[in-house]
Chain A
Amino acid sequence: MNSLLKCLGAFALLGLSSLAQAFDLQQLSDQLAKPDVIHGSFIQEKHLRALPQPLTSKGSFVLAKNHGLLWLLKTPLQQDYRISDKGIARRDANGWQMLPNKSAGAEQNRLFLAVLQGDSSGLQRDFELSLSGDAQNWKLTLTPRSMLLKQVFNQINIDGGELVHSIELLETQGDRTLLRMQDSTSAQPLSDAEQHDFAE
C-alpha cells in the first residue's frame, strides 16, 4: 500500500486551486480536472524515528491527465518511475520495466488514477476529509476511515496557499514523511521526451 500515491492524489485534487472561491471539495475536484499537465520539483524528507537526520531526496515530477505520473528522483541517487493505468514501471539500462503488480499496490494505483481524473469519491471513500483556512492559506486533513488504513496512518496533512506547498504523512509507527512541492506550473505542455516516456 503506497501512502505517497494517496497524497499525490490529494495533491492533484487540490493543485492550482487559486481560482477556487469556496473550499468545496466538489468544486475543487471539478477544477482539478482542468489542467492537462503539471510540472514541478519535489523534496522528500523521510523522518525516521531512529535517525537524527531525515533521509532527503530531490527530483522533479510530471503529472499528465490521461497519461499518469513521471517521478524523476535525482539525488542522492538517480531513479525514474512511471505510474500509469498499466501499473508502476521503473527505468533501468534496458528502458522501462514494469514492477510486479502487487495486489495492494495495483489497487492503490487504480485509486490514484481515478483521483487524477478528478474523481474525488476515491479519497472520500477511504478518508475523512476536513478543510480549513482560506484560499490563500489552507489546510486539508485526511483521517483514515477503515481499520486497515488506521493501522498504518494516523493522519495526512496537506498545506497550500496559491499552490500546494506540502504533504505530510504521519505513520502510526512514528515515522513521518514530508513532501514539499515547488515551482508547480501548468503552463508547460508535455515535451517530446516526456510523451515518449508515457507512450513506451
Chain B
Amino acid sequence: MTLPSERMLPRLFLILLLAVLALAGWQWRGDTPLSANLMELVPGTAPDALELRAEQRMQEPLNREMLVLVGHKDRQQAIAMAQKLGEQWQASGVFEKVQWNLQADLPALRTQLLQGRLAMLSAADRQQLIEHPDAFIQQRVQALFDPFTGFSLVPSQDDWLGLTGRIQNSQPQHGSVQLDIGSGALVADADGKSWVMLRARTVGNAFDMNLPLQVADLLQHSREEAARSDVQLLAASGLLYAASGQRQAAREMTWVGGGATVGILLLLLLAFRRWRVLLAFVPVLVGMLFGAVACVALFGHMHVMTLVLGSSLIGVAVDYPLHYLSKSWSLKPWHSWPALRLTLPGLTLSLITSCIGYLALAWTPFPALTQIAVFSAAGLVGAYLSAVCLLPALLKGVDLRPAQWPMRIAEKLLELRESLLKYLRTPVLLALLIAFCVGGLLQLQSKNDIRQWVGTPQQLTDEAQTIARITGYQPTSQFFLVCATNQQELLERLTALSERLDQLVNLEKLQGYLSLNQLVSQPSEQRKVREALSKLPQFWQPLLELGVPAAALQAELATLQALPTEDIDAALAGPLAEPYRTLWLGPTDDGVAAMVSLQGLNNPTLLRVQALDLPGVELVDRLGELNQVFAATQISAAELKLASCVLIVLVLILPFGLGGALRIVSLPLLAALCSLASLGWLGQPLTLFSLFGLLLVTAISVDYAILMREQIGGAAASLLGTLLAAVTTWLSFGLLAVSSTPAVSNFGLSVSLGLAFSFILAPWAGRQVHAAPITEPAA
C-alpha cells in the first residue's frame, strides 16, 4: 500500500540529489576546497584591520620558513652537509630561497653605513658625540691603533670619525650564532657539536594543502641522509606542525569514519540479517555530501577539522532509517512505507531538535564550530530527506525478520529497571543522582588553552626548544604595535618603549627585542647630531696630530652636514635593514605604524604593564586573548544550551503538551549534568569542547526521550530503537575520544558520557497516549 505521493517522492529526491552532486562537482573542479589553517578556526579577536595586518605579517615567516640546524662534532663536516642539503633543497623546487651561508653584499653595506652615519648612530654614541666630543675623538684615536677592534667595513679615509664602525658595533646581536669566516656559514656551538644554520623559505605557505607534506617528506629524507654521515638535523617550522596536523587529521578521519562505518554496518547485519538493510547507509552518504556542499558554499572551503568532527555525523544520520527499521520487531509484517508513515512525526521532530542543537553551536564565536554546525545541520537534512523520500522505495518488498536477541536484551533491561524501581522509588533514585552530580561538580576543574586545538607531537616541540636553546633565538608570538601620526612621533614612541624594554632586558625578564628605532633615529635626533658635528673641529686636534690632513676632516664634515635626514623607508633600503623590514607597517588610515618584535619572553603581564601609559603603544598577545575568549565563551555556551532547550520545549509543546515537553527536555539536561559530574569524578578537566559536546548531546538525546515517550510498537521496541540509535551514535562520537588532538578527544569523551546517561534516563520520559493500542505498561 503505497500512496501516490510516495511514488513521486523518490523521483523528486533523485532530481535534488543530482543537482547537489552537480554542485559538488563544480565546487571541487579546480583546487581542493580544503583548508588546514588553524587560525581560521579560532575566533577573530582582532577586528582592527591594522592589528590583523600586523599579525599576518608576524606569522608569515612561521608559515613559510623552516630553520634547520645541521650538527656534527666536526665543524667542517657540519658545514659540508649543510651545503649539500642546501643545494638539494634548492633543486627540489619546493623552496623559493635556501640559505646556508651569509653572502654579504659588502659594497651595498658600505654605502648604507656611509649614508646612514647621522641616522643610524645609536643613542649611546649620539650622547657621547653631543655631550663629550673630546672623549669621542679620543676613542677614535685609540681605535685607529687598536689591532683588536675588529675590522671596519669602511676604510678609514672615508670615515675618519669612525661613525660607521660605531654603527656596526651597536647593531643588536642575534643570539649565540657566530659567523664562520671561511665559509660564511652561521654556526652555534652547543652540546659538543657545531650546528650550522640552514634557512629555507617555501614558495607557498603552510595552508597550501600539499606543501607542508612535501616539506616534511623532504626533511625526513634529508634526516636519513644526514644520519648516514652521523650528522644530526634539528628543524623548526610552522610547516612541520601543519604537516603533522594534516597527517593526524587524515589518520583520525580514517579511524573514526572507518571504525564507525564498519561498526554500524556490522550492527545492521547482525540485527536485521538482510544484506539489503545495508542500504540504510545511503542516508549517511547523502548526509556527508549535503554537509560538504553546504560548507563549501557558505565558507568557500572546508577545514580538515570539520571533516574529522563531521565524520561523527555517520552515527547520527543512520538513526533516521533505524527509527523505522527497528519497528520490524513489533510490526509484523514490516513494510517500508507504512513503517515510515508511523514514525514520520517522530523523525521530523528529531530532525528539528537535532538541528536546533547543532545550529546553537553556530552562534558561538568560533568559526570552527560554525562550520561544524553548518556541516552537521545540512548533513542531517540530507540524511532525513533520503531516509524519508528514497530509502523506503529502496527497501520496498524487503521481508525483515530481525534477530530476536536484541529484543531480548531490551526486554531484560526493562525488567531490570522494573525490579530496581521496586526497591528504590524514582524520587529516591533522583536524590541519589543529584548527590552524585553535586559530588562530581564540586571536583570539576575548568581548563582552557589554545594548545588543546593542536595535538602537537612531542618531538616537534622538543626540537624547536633545542633550537631556541642552541641559537638563543626565541621568537615569541606577542609583539607591540605602535601607531603615531607621523614618523617623528612614531620613532619617539618607539624610543620611549625601547627604554622600558631595555630595563626588562637588564632584569633578564626579556631576552631582547627588535625595533625600528635601533636602525634609524628620529629626525630631531638626526638634527642634533648634525649640530654637534659642527662643533667637532674644536676637539679633533688629536686626529690632526696623527697626521690626518685637516682638509680631509673638513671635507668629511661637509659631507656629513650635507647628508639628508633619513626617513624609515630610506633606512630600510640597505642590507643591514633586512631583519627590520617586517616591522614597518607604513602609512595607515590615521598616520603610520610599526611593530616591535620580542625575544625570549617569560612574563606577558609584565609586558602589558609597560604599554599602559605609553600613547599609541599596544601589546598584541593573540594567545592570551584567545584563552580569555575561550573562558568567556564557556559562559555563553552554557547560555546557548539553555536557549536551545527553551526552543526545543516550544517545538515539543505542540505534540506533547507543556508537561510532556518539559519532561522530555529535562532528561537530556539531567544527562548533561551527570556527564559533567562524571568528568569531575574522572578527574577530567571541563573544557570548552566538553561543553560543546554536551550542547550537542542535549539535541541528540531529546530524540531518545521522544522515542521512548511515543512508544510506537511498545516499550521494549522503543528501548531497542533507542539503544540502536545510541550505539551507532556512540560508535562515531565515542571514537573521537581516541583522537590525539585534546580538543577533539575532549569532545568525544563528553558526548560519550552524555549518550550513556541519556540512554539510561530515557525510559523516564513517560508515555504519550496514542490511538494505537499499547501492549506494555508504561514505566
Residues of A within 8 A of B (CB): 1-5, 44, 46, 48-53, 55, 57, 71, 73, 76-77, 79, 81, 83, 88, 90, 99-100, 102-108, 111, 125-126, 145-149, 151-152, 171, 173-175
Contact = CB atoms under 8 A, between A and B. Distances in A.
Contacts of A104: 150, 178-179, 181
Given A55-B144, A88-B148, A148-B102, A106 B547 contact: no
A70 B5 CA distance: 105
Nearest to A57: B145
Contacts of A173: 155
B293 to A, nearest CB: 57
A151 B110 CA distance: 12
Contacts of B266: none
Given A2-B151, A100-B169, A102-B173, 4 more contacts: A55-B144, A99-B148, A146-B183, A152-B106
B155 A107 contact: no
A49 B181 contact: no
A2 B178 contact: no
Interface in B178-236: 178-184, 187
Contacts of B546: 55, 76
Interface in B445-480: none
Contacts of B151: 1-3, 152
Contacts of A79: 142, 145-146
A51 B184 contact: no
Interface of chain A: mostly helix, strand, loop or mixed:
mixed
Q: Closest 3 interchain pairs by CB?
A: A50-B157, A126-B182, A173-B155
B interface secondary structure, majority? loop
A51 B547 contact: yes
Contacts of A147: 103, 184
A104 B103 CA distance: 14
B270 interface: no
Contacts of A100: 169
Contacts of A50: 156-157, 549, 552
16 contacts: A1-B151, A2-B151, A4-B147, A5-B147, A5-B148, A46-B145, A48-B156, A55-B144, A103-B173, A103-B178, A125-B76, A146-B181, A148-B104, A148-B181, A149-B182, A175-B155
Interface of B: 76, 102-104, 106, 141-142, 144-151, 155-157, 169, 173, 177-184, 187, 546-549, 552
Contacts of B155: 48-49, 171, 173-175
Nearest to A7: B147
B157 A2 contact: no
Given A2-B150, A81-B147, A49 B183 contact: no
B147 A108 contact: no
Contact of B142 (A77, A146, A149): A77
Given A48-B155, A173-B155, A1 B144 contact: no
A105 B264 CA distance: 70
Contact of A55 (B145, B181, B183): B145
Contact of B157 (A49, A90, A108, A152): A49
A145 B182 contact: yes
Contacts of B180: 107
A7 B617 CA distance: 50
Given A48-B157, A146-B184, A152-B151, A103 B145 contact: no
A32 B601 CA distance: 48
Given A50-B552, A175-B156, A71 B181 contact: no
Query: Interface centre among A71, A104, A145, by most B CB within 10 Å?
Result: A104
A90 B169 CA distance: 16
A90 B180 CA distance: 24
A2 B182 contact: no
Contacts of A5: 147-148
Contacts of B145: 44, 46, 55, 57, 73, 76-77, 79
Nearest to A49: B157
Contact of B548 (A51, A57, A125, A174): A51
B148 A83 contact: yes
A160 B549 CA distance: 35
A106 B178 CA distance: 8
Nearest to B546: A55
Nearest to B180: A107
Nearest to A54: B547
A182 B187 CA distance: 37
Contact of B177 (A53, A103, A151): A103
Contacts of A111: 181
B182 A125 contact: yes
Nearest to B107: A151
Contacts of A51: 157, 547-549
B385 to A, nearest CB: 68
B542 to A, nearest CB: 9
Contacts of B183: 146
Contacts of A106: 178
A36 B144 CA distance: 31
